[in-house]
Structure 1
Amino acid sequence: MQQVKYYIILSLLLGAFFSCTRDFLEKPPSVDITEDTIFSKIRNAETFLYDVYGNSVPSGLPTGWSVSSSGGIVAGVLAAACDEGDIADSWPGTNRFNEGQWNANDNPEDDFNTHYKAIRKANIFMERIDGVPDATAEYKTQLKAEARFLRALQYFELVKRYGGVPIVDKRLLNSDNLKLPRNKLEECINFIIADCDAAVTGLPAAQEGFLRGRISKGAVLSLKSRVLLYAASPLFNSATSYVPTTDATATLVGYHNYDATRWQKAADAAKAVLDWAPTGSCRLITEFGADKNYEYVWSQPDNAEIILANKSNGWWGIYSDYFNFTMPVNMYGGWYGISVPMNFVKLYEKKTGGAQTWPESGDNANAMYASLDPRFAQSIGYNGASWNSEIGAVQMYIKTDGKPALHGGDRGGGQWLHKFLPRSVTWSSYGATINWPVFRLAEFYLNYAEALNEAQGPVTEVYTAINTVRARSGMPALSGKTKEEMRTAIRNERAVELAFEEHRYWDVRRWKIAGDEGVMNGKMYGLRLKPIAASSEFHFDQVVFEQRVWNDKMYLYPFPNVEIYKQYMIQNPGW
């Protein structure tokens, strides 16, 4: 009991220490005694570091009603702000993106200031941890490496949203210049990579048992791979900015030149993750069969494919915000569910390979669904598919009286998101443990394939990487493609394999295809099903359920006006 009271008191002190809501670079009111107390014992310092974790490791689960540095969009999932998904209800934050109703005063996905609060905490920890008396030098080196990684991770979360941002590599005091200008994009990328390179040497190859969720070498290598892939991609790796701007601003939002060697660096970084994997006991899940492997990866916490997960939320109960925001109607407390548009469904190939052709209408909906890549049925709940042993078949069609069936069917995409809603969630289980996958191994096969194809064309290693991912889901191997054809195939494979994991929303930005018709712009299609008399089949019609709005200035977020008005930062072009 005394130990519990101790941690409660310490948590309250930490809260007081970091409750400042003033300028994001400003020093909180002096509480030096409290800080000295925190860094007088290793268990206090560890608690401080766990607080940094809580503010730094991303989660895409819809867990709340406001934005934070840990990710997530207000009352929804980011998938519903691109072609992966839709929320039919009017108030969740995704709809402001889809309607183009967001700006420098109202961003439902990100709170700029909270990133710097997390960075400040990481800087303080790195400055103070060496002075903690009751820990070995080796352990303090490890903890400092964890904090350095978390700082790098937060800078990446900033860069992918805003481009170049002010770099703060130490605790700032009131006597310091607090109005720091933006650093160039290249400087920010180099800073993140330097932090990764410095952190990796002080960390264990993997974190096992109850330490899963702590930073390992694999997590650092994974971040480096993702950062360099983004840096090499068209949004940043181009001589031309995504919207017209001055040369000075262009270096803040991109490299302002194209360099093919950036792709090779990204390929090398992805290969480093694949080479690390055996030493970290990390591998693709392949032992459950093509119809179960993929679902096992997202439904089983701490499986062998996960490199780093956000484990802060753990078990979710029915009627929690999470299930309220994601479960389909008439299932376990769901308010509105996340529907999947046909725009995205069409990215799933046939099981035999090659694109599935969806006509405007037909009388074979069941057969069309059954023909798709096995990952479709392991990610998406569609009419006639079993949701779980308790719900049984999903009923998502329009009845003969014109009313929707039990689980909907008259609005949105026509299919429900099932991923991250495990079949084990029943009234008797009353919930499930769900961890958000920050990094998993399949991503790095695809990172390697993409970067190497751009650097060298479709060489043997490119085919090996992408076909390894496809094979575990029973999909046929690719062969005989040009560089351009392979680029298209890799992008499609990323969409399917990494679906609903907060990749697509950023991928279409870094590829500069977000404005293409049907991606983040233009018509969103849904499927409307009607039963066919004396048949188990359903008639289907494709209908336009939404017209989405895009402007190229949206490739990067605007900085909050409250910061721009202080006249120390340049706003992103177009805003």
Structure 2
Amino acid sequence: MKIKYLLYSVLTTAVLSGCIDVLDKKDLSAITEKDVWNNAQYATAYLNKLYRDNLPGWDQDVAGYSDEAYGETGILYGHLTTTSIDNWPYKEIRNINIMLSSIETGNIDNATKTSLKAQALVLRAWRYFQMVRLYGGVPMILEPQALTDDLYVTRNKTSECINLIIKDLDDAIDALPWKWTGDDEGRFTKATVMALKGRILLYYASPQFNPENKAERWETAYTYNKMAAEQIEANGYGLYDSYENIWFDEMNKEVLFVTRYQEPDITHHWDAATRPLSEAQNYSGCNQPTKEMVESYPMITGTPITESPDYDPLHFWQNRDPRFTSTIAYNGCKWELSGKKDRIQWTYQGHSTLNPSSSGFYCRKAINVSYTPYYTERSSTDWIEIRFTEVLMNYAECAAENGKSDEAYEVLKRIRQRAGIEAGSNGMYGLKANMSHDEMIAAIMLERKIEFAYEGKRYWDLRRQRMFASEMNGTRRHGLLPKLKISPVEFDKIKDNIDIDKDYTTYFKDSVVVLDQKYEINFQNNYYFYAIPNKHLETNSKLEQTQDWDNGTFNPYE
């Protein structure tokens, strides 16, 4: 069973289940605040609603903010204004703060109270971290404000925000178990907290927050992420055997931080937005891989395609990293969507009038092939915000930054081994030996790009590493659009019998197409910390605008 994030039905049922005095004039549909904090069931229902309101979920747009997929966005074209990026969830944070302060007023048993508070603290840490990675320092409000309070608050320094976020996680961890069971599966655990803290420390050490490359931040991040990886694995988590099935074998040992979905109550439309419209419903056009992304995958030997004598650009799908097949759908591949046995995915020009892929590719990541079109917009596949592989990758990056390349190598080998890349005679899984610091960091960032493709990580990695200028600026993203060499009528007669590994070039010619037709990529340097939207400045005269935005004075690096 998945967590039921329902509040009102639980509370209403609880209220109406007891004996009722018909002469009592009390509003029988209401539950007072005092009732909630004196009853563990009510308080748990309140927390469940906080989970539902604050957990991250599927984002079908974020791949288009990077080189993973095409998307017209002011972020990449340099067209943002001070109103463009608005993530200001103080209403949700207030509700978390209400629980943290009010639960102390009730008579719920201490063990339950401590557990509920710990989970709320993690939610608050998560919400604040989401803002800090966008804006730098923000007002850290830790109590529910009253109308009589001074509501004109200032922005805390970024360092203060990070410290308070870490404190919330540290205060929470001891009260949480390593694992939950039954209906509670999916709640925060010690592993969740350690993984999230490790990610935050990595961010704080990275160039976005640490342009002066202060060594002590990398040392702190290294020590913690190494310990987190070791302890999390010692307590039953680890790399799941099947890369492709991480998303479909729910709550497997790789899952650390998860948002659970259950049709019909809580669903998403990732499948509909990502699949071809012919096999979806009401959504389409997202997460279509670029040629640049497709070419990032190495060969099955782990060797880059630019260095492998076995790479055939006319049959580019052959002998690639197995994660390629799990992630990229290309012209002529088998993709049995809607449960259609032996279904072939075509992407050639003119194959469909139903909003065909503009890049010539589709994303297969986390796409449930058993869904019929009806269920594609009612998907219940869980969102995994952090999986164990990320903990390992965070540890490897911190190790590399601390000159411990041997440790970084071992992590990369483990991940490539799980992916199915061949070890080779030297046991290096295609990795170059004796890499320099810069080469190792580049290898780690490439491995993250491949391993976490379409998992909402690439855009954030480019931000924290300040890599937009070196990776994307001055470029345009491309697709690879196949064109038929014979008439569509003739092709329809024979297409079910074609062996694309042998006959592809007989029937198709691939043409490179430019996806960014209007503008080149031009990510601006001040985008590493976005502007606070004007509407928030207008309602609070004490808020400073971020430096490099409309004469802003707030320094996000302090």
TM-score normalised by structure 1 residue count: 0.79
Say whether 1:111 aligns with 2:111. Answer: no
Which structure has the larger Rg? Answer: 2
Matched position secondary structure for 1:472: helix
User: For residues 261-272 of structure 1, what are the structure 2 equivalents within 5 Å?
Assistant: 261-272=216-227
Cα separation, 1, equivalents of 2:76 and 2:436: 34
Q: 386, 396, 413: which is aligned to 1:439?
A: 386
Cα 1:408/1:354, change in 2 over 3 Å: farther
Q: CA deviation at 1:549?
A: 3.7
After superposition, give the CA deviation of every residue in 1:276-299 in whole Å (9 maximum; x if it has no partner).
22454212112xxxxxx2111123
User: For residues 479-494 of structure 1, what are the structure 2 equivalents within 5 Å?
Assistant: 479-494=433-448
| Letter aligned with residue 142 of structure 1 | S
Q: CA deviation at 1:414?
A: 2.0
Q: 174, 182, 204: which is aligned to 1:201?
A: 174
Matched position secondary structure for 1:309: strand
Partner of 2:20: none
Would you say the 8 A contact 1:453–1:483 is kept in 2? Answer: yes
Q: CA deviation at 1:382?
A: 1.2
After superposition, give the CA deviation of every residue in 1:492-550 in whole Å (9 maximum; x if it has no partner).
001111111111111001110113353x6631111121245693334223232213342
Cα separation, 1, equivalents of 2:375 and 2:329: 20
Matched position secondary structure for 2:385: strand
| Letter aligned with residue 58 of structure 1 | P
Matched position secondary structure for 1:151: helix
Q: 302, 306, 319: which is aligned to 2:251?
A: 302
After superposition, give the CA deviation of every residue in 1:219-243 in whole Å (9 maximum; x if it has no partner).
000110000000000111123xxxx
| Letter aligned with residue 187 of structure 1 | E
Cα separation, 2, equivalents of 1:322 and 1:521: 31
Q: 170, 185, 201: which is aligned to 1:212?
A: 185
User: For residues 451-470 of structure 1, what are the structure 2 equivalents within 5 Å?
Assistant: 451-458=398-405, 460-470=406-416
Cα 1:234/1:429, change in 2 over 3 Å: closer
Partner of 1:528: 481
Partner of 1:161: 134
After superposition, give the CA deviation of every residue in 1:431-463 in whole Å (9 maximum; x if it has no partner).
6531110110000111000011001241x2211
Partner of 1:541: 511
Cα separation, 1, equivalents of 2:10 and 2:392: 45
Partner of 2:69: 85
Q: 233, 242, 264: which is aligned to 2:206?
A: 233
Partner of 2:214: 259
Partner of 1:412: 358
User: For residues 389-428 of structure 1, what are the structure 2 equivalents within 5 Å?
Assistant: 389-390=339-340, 392-398=343-349, 403-405=350-352, 412-426=358-372
Matched position secondary structure for 2:515: strand
Would you say the 8 A contact 1:396–1:407 is kept in 2? Answer: no
Would you say the 8 A contact 2:69–2:288 is kept in 1? Answer: yes
Cα separation, 2, equivalents of 1:86 and 1:329: 17
Partner of 1:243: none
Say whether 1:7 aligns with 2:8. Answer: yes
Partner of 2:325: 377
Cα separation, 2, equivalents of 1:427 and 1:522: 36
Cα separation, 2, equivalents of 1:156 and 1:335: 31
Cα separation, 2, equivalents of 1:448 and 1:6: 38
Matched position secondary structure for 2:512: strand
Say whether 1:344 aligns with 2:293. Answer: yes
What's the C-alpha RMSD, in Å, of the aligned pairs? 3.0
Partner of 1:143: 116
Cα 1:522/1:355, change in 2 over 3 Å: same
Q: 465, 468, 471: which is aligned to 2:417?
A: 471
Q: CA deviation at 1:338?
A: 2.6
Matched position secondary structure for 1:370: coil
Structure 2 residues without counterparts, runs of 5 or longer:
14-29, 424-428, 487-497, 550-558
Cα separation, 1, equivalents of 2:53 and 2:79: 27
Cα separation, 1, equivalents of 2:81 and 2:101: 37
Would you say the 8 A contact 2:54–2:92 is kept in 1? Answer: yes
Q: CA deviation at 1:365?
A: 5.4
Q: CA deviation at 1:552?
A: 1.5
After superposition, give the CA deviation of every residue in 1:383-423 in whole Å (9 maximum; x if it has no partner).
1222115171110112xxxx3457776x6322111112122
Partner of 2:53: 55
Cα separation, 2, equivalents of 1:451 and 1:309: 24
Matched position secondary structure for 1:543: strand
Would you say the 8 A contact 1:327–1:421 is kept in 2? Answer: yes
Instruction: Select between 350-359 and 337-346 the one with higher mean Cα deviation.
Output: 350-359
Instruction: Select between 35-44 and 462-471 the one with higher mean Cα deviation.
Output: 35-44
Cα separation, 2, equivalents of 1:158 and 1:343: 30
Instruction: Select between 198-207 and 563-572 the one with higher mean Cα deviation.
Output: 563-572
Cα separation, 1, equivalents of 2:286 and 2:462: 23
Cα 1:335/1:132, change in 2 over 3 Å: same
Q: CA deviation at 1:366?
A: 6.0
TM-score normalised by structure 2 residue count: 0.82
Q: CA deviation at 1:48?
A: 1.1
Matched position secondary structure for 1:285: coil
* Larger relative contact order (CA 8 Å, sep ≥ 6): 2
Cα separation, 2, equivalents of 1:309 and 1:175: 38
Matched position secondary structure for 2:222: helix
Would you say the 8 A contact 2:203–2:209 is kept in 1? Answer: yes
Cα separation, 1, equivalents of 2:137 and 2:477: 33
Cα separation, 2, equivalents of 1:84 and 1:5: 35
| Letter aligned with residue 548 of structure 2 | G
Matched position secondary structure for 1:419: coil
Cα separation, 2, equivalents of 1:204 and 1:215: 8
Q: CA deviation at 1:42?
A: 1.2
Cα separation, 2, equivalents of 1:102 and 1:559: 12
Cα separation, 1, equivalents of 2:34 and 2:49: 17
Partner of 1:42: 40
Structure 1 residues without counterparts, runs of 5 or longer:
13-31, 62-71, 88-93, 240-257, 287-292
| Letter aligned with residue 542 of structure 1 | V
After superposition, give the CA deviation of every residue in 1:14-59 in whole Å (9 maximum; x if it has no partner).
xxxxxxxxxxxxxxxxxx9832232231111111111211222111
Identical-pair percentage: 29
Matched position secondary structure for 2:201: helix
Instruction: Select between 293-302 and 540-549 the one with higher mean Cα deviation.
Output: 540-549
Would you say the 8 A contact 1:395–1:406 is kept in 2? Answer: no
Cα separation, 2, equivalents of 1:472 and 1:43: 42
Q: CA deviation at 1:101?
A: 4.1
Matched position secondary structure for 1:437: strand
Say whether 1:571 aligns with 2:545. Answer: yes
Cα 1:316/1:442, change in 2 over 3 Å: farther
Cα 1:364/1:397, change in 2 over 3 Å: farther
